[in-house]
Amino acid sequence: MSKIHVTTTVNGEPAEFLCQPGNSLLDALRDDLNLTGSKEGCSSGDCGACSVIVDGRLVCSCLMLAVEAEGKSITTIEGIANGDVLHPLQRKFLEHAALQCGFCTPGFLVAAKALLDHNPDPTETEARYWLAGNLCRCTGYDKIIRAVLDAAAEMRAGAPAGE
Amino acid sequence: MTFIGNKSDLKVVGTRPVRPDGVDKVTGRATFGADYTMPGMLMGRVKRSPHAHARIVSIDASKALALPGVKGVVTAADFPDIPSEEAFVGEGPMNFRDLSLNCIARGKVLYEGHAVAAVCAISDEVAAAACDLIDVTYEVLPHVIDVEAAMAPDAPLLHADMFTANVTPKPEKPSNIAKKVHFTVGDVAAGFAQADVIVEGHYSTQPVHQAYIEPHACIASAGADGQCHIISSSQGHFMIRAYVAKLLGMEMSNLKVTPAEIGGGFGGKTVVYLEPLALAMARKTGRPVKMVMTREDVFRATGPTSGAVIDVKLGATKDGIITAAQAVLKYQAGAFAGSPVQPGCMCAFAMYDLKNVDVVGYDVVSNRPKVAAYRAPGAPIASFAAESAVDDLARKLGMDPIALREKNAAKAGTKTAYGVTFAEIGYEQVLAAAKNHPHWKAPLGPNQGRGIATGFWFNIGGESSASVFINEDGSVNVVSGSPDIGGSRASMAMMAAEVLGIPVEHVRPIVADTASIGFTHVTGGSRVTYATGMATVQAAENVIEQLKTRAAMIWDIPPEAVEWKDGQAVPAGANAGGFDPLPLAAIALKAAKTGGPIGAEVSLNAQGAGPGFGAHICDVEVDKETGHVTVLRYTAVQDVGRAIHPSYVEGQIQGGAVQGIGWALNEEYVYNTKGLMDNAGFLDYRVPVASDLPMIEAVMVEVPNPRHPFGVRGVGEVPIVPPMAAVANAIRGALGIRMHALPMSPPKLRAAVDSGVG
Ligand code: FES
Ligand code: FES
């Protein structure tokens, strides 16, 4: 079967790739664009390790067809930091030790960024429900939730990102 | 050298620096098993059994091989037929023949998902299509799933040559009972005769999976000269080397294994599944082969831990002295022998100082995936039963459950039922911390209950290697052979920095491949911070001796006249001479002139890891209409010896507790009548998510382990031991009903509310 040519934007840069009609966006990101920061934990939409933001919406990239990326703007974990300046969420994850193995971490960071983009002042409960689509088997979520709430507080206080 | 006594003198140990691999992990740069590629790489897939138990009549791969893009197929015929031989490189004993048969079935398939063939092709799509084209003809055999059914005399037999070990006389007939274990002290009959109060319970649990979020993944390549390389995500690359070399009949020196970052293991990545298949196909085709499991494969074909049926009986005097403890534990091993029933038997009552104990265990095979280690293997389910019974005992005696435990607590000098006498342990301190925690006295609302349960794990030491190198600019590399599954590089760097007296930022830790550092046992059993940490500390101490010698040469005074203080060499006293201190960097700069590079490697076999104890307090609210249990508050107290990086110790405690909460409330393997798993995905096998949980308060008690230079005890296993009973005891408090079967899921709770029995 001949491949389909897709033109899209990834982390603010133009990107193009060839894919099979059945390929997921996750496959395209990982295998064709070499953006292996997005992880595959289940390929059924249940773990959130593959989370990306597409035109402002949080999606599981394993559930979106690669061809659907045509003309869209996609943010992956590789696009969260500003050059070598970490996003406050990334910095707070490190400070709070909100990762152990780190396999779920890219998905959590992308999902948490989408949360704070929508709601800069989430309650603990709101953060827990927003992040309920992301599985972490190592941390018990405690430090992840603390890191997200702390990053939100810092961003609200207007501290320069990534100082 | 020991650093235990004076915690206030420690500058690095006990602080919370950002971990050295942290930035890579928050930016997506860290490379896990599935992130690697190699030039010319093929993709491999496994053809798996659709039956729980069947004879393989024939395998015909001709159609698959004819598919364009398919490069090779392997079956058991491509692997040596390995004789029975015990191996000890993983976590717990493993028989090489069973391992080989588990990686690729020979003659019979023993569970749904059992690998029968593997295929490699130019893409994953082609490999998947080729898998479908492999024709396997089966003769389906009767199967058995449940442990007690498998023990029945007329049960379908998995292995015609399995005769129960440790029974005399040797059984005349084979059975599914691989082994019996028995620990006894004193006289339980006499103990029960002295008891004023007796409680009994019949408990059951289901297998649960470690459910690491990263599926197994590896890439293997083979040169025409026989030199092979595997990159894989595992808890022990030396384990991978040993197992793969054995299964493929290779010399170990011809196989290098590089550890990828590992996305969780919890014991489940202490064995091989894909690696032997990938390397066999790489050798056959001359091209690198990458293999990645699907989540379904992970559930169906890799090891969960055992489910069990457990009977417990306890007797006590009316003032709360336990006079006898008895248990029978029947553990599922999966398709091959080797459940963790032995540690289960050892841990069941290890928290208590008991005169009369009798524990019997059975290791039972059935048509399920072979179990693998899972955090404190065997202990959590034994403790679920034993600590539920202790709670019943406290209620029957009208005693506070902490007071009952204090009365019977194991302490230094207590001899366990399995023969070991405890040295310094912290169980009493853990109980005291739980009793004094505000959580224990906080008020409860309607339909709410509070439970407490305690747990024990041995912790282990074992073989580890680490080296410390001083670079020319005075920065330091620490190299170890232990895959880092939860922050161990941070703790190695911190211990080395502490010993050397330098800031941790100047120490860069890495995990080296099997050709670059001495043998190191798997990351498991809570051994790495203890044993690999000990090797790191000794290597750093060796380096300090060298640095002192170099300083002595520079100053032209005897080495004994030099001391190491705060990262620099100083004259030992006024008589040594009036030299200015020589910082590490200054000595490093002159290394070439004073004898060459400075560094040391230490390989050791660490003995006597300090046992760990924990106590968990759990509050729940039960919705009687739906049977749903909400965990309202959770406090986990644990003796950690000494926390090197407290955040990661807390993380271990919180993560273990939450895995235990999932085990208690939701997680289970569900089988249909055909012996096939019905819930092989995260939608139906429900692990806890953030919205299920409150914050988990981790309380660290520090009773230093005298055998480790910093007092370290393993911390990773203990926290998964108490939760199931803590939750069950809380539900008992809320409902007045003792739940006997895990998971305590809504349908079971609803039924218990209706019938009044759990
Ligand atoms: S890989 Fe997409 S949700 Fe799990
Ligand atoms: S840190 Fe390991 S899964 Fe979240």
- Residue A110 Cβ inside 6 Å of ligand 1? The answer reads no
- Which of B16, B19, B27, B299 to mutate: most A Cβ within 10 Å? B27
Give the pLDDT of residue B554. 96
Q: Which helix (H) or strand (E) holds B753?
A: helix B746-755
CATH architecture of the domain formed by A4-79: Roll (3.10)
pTM of the model: 0.96
Nearest Cα of chain B lies from the Cα of A44 at a distance, in angstroms, of: 8
The CA-atom distances, in angstroms, between B370 and each of B178, B294, B353, B584 are 13, 18, 34, 52
- Residue A100 Cβ inside 6 Å of ligand 2? The answer reads yes
Nearest CA to B96 out of B332, B337, B303 is that of B337
Q: Which helix (H) or strand (E) holds B489?
A: helix B488-500
Indicate the residue of A47, A131, A139 with minimum beta-carbon distance to B682.
A47
Nearest chain A residue (CA) to B685: A46
Q: What domains sit in chain B, N to C, each tagged with a CATH number?
A: 7-30+461-606 (3.30.365.10)
Task: Read off the tokens for B137.
Answer: 């003809």
Nearest Cα of chain A lies from the Cα of B710 at a distance, in angstroms, of: 22
pLDDT at A162 over 70: no
Cβ neighbours of B19 in A, within 8 Å: 94, 97
Contact residues, B window 383-422, toward A, CB-based 8 Å cutoff: none
Give the pLDDT of residue B575. 82
- Residue A99 Cβ inside 6 Å of ligand 2? The answer reads yes
Q: Which ligand is nearest to the CA of A60?
A: 1
Nearest CA to B703 out of B402, B427, B454 is that of B427
Q: Which helix (H) or strand (E) holds B184?
A: strand B177-185
CA of B655 to the centre of ligand 2 (A): 9
Contact B28 A143 (CB under 8 A): no
pLDDT digits (tens, 9 = 90+) for B673-704: 999 999 999 999 999 999 999 999 999 999 99
**Long-range pairs for B552-561: beta carbons < 8 A, 24 or more residues apart:** B553/B594, B553/B595, B554/B582, B554/B587, B554/B590, B554/B594, B555/B579, B555/B582
A82: DSSP letter = B
> ipTM surpassing 0.90, yes or no?
yes
Longest dimension (CA), chain B: 88
- Residue B651 Cβ inside 6 Å of ligand 2? The answer reads no
The CA-atom distances, in angstroms, between B61 and each of A140, B245, B372, B695 are 45, 26, 31, 53
* Adjacency order of strands within the sheet including B322-334: B177-185, B357-365, B322-334, B308-316, B197-205
Give the pLDDT of residue B447. 97
Decide if B452 touches A, using CB distance below 8 A: no
Torsion, CA A98, CA A102, CA A106, CA A107, rounded to 10? -80
Which residues of chain B carry a pLDDT beneath 70?
A: 1-5, 88-93
| Residue where the block lists tokens 């004076």 | B6
Task: Read off the tokens for B68.
Answer: 């364009």
- Residue A50 Cβ inside 6 Å of ligand 1? The answer reads yes
Report whether B589 contacts B541 (CB < 8 A). no
Contact residues, A window 28-87, toward B, CB-based 8 Å cutoff: 30, 35-44, 46-47, 49, 76-78, 80-81, 86
Residue of A101, A109, A145, A148 to mutate, ligand 2, most atoms within 8 A of C-beta: A101
Task: Read off the tokens for B208.
Answer: 């649960």
CATH architecture of the domain formed by A88-156: Orthogonal Bundle (1.10)
Smallest CA separation from ligand 2 atom 3, residue:
A136
Nearest chain A residue (CA) to B661: A140
Report whether B176 contacts B144 (CB < 8 A). yes
Instruction: Name the residue ranges covered by the structural domains of chain A.
Output: 4-79, 88-156
Decide if B681 touches A, using CB distance below 8 A: yes
The Cα–Cα gap between B195 and B197 comes to 5
Contact B682 A42 (CB under 8 A): yes
Task: Please state whether beta strands B322-334 and B357-365 pair in parallel, antiparallel, or not at all (unpaired).
Answer: parallel
Decide if B486 touches A, using CB distance below 8 A: yes
Smallest CA separation from ligand 1 atom 3, residue:
A45
The CA-CA-CA angle for residues B369, B375, B376, to 5°, reads 110
The CA-CA-CA angle for residues B220, B221, B226, to 5°, reads 125
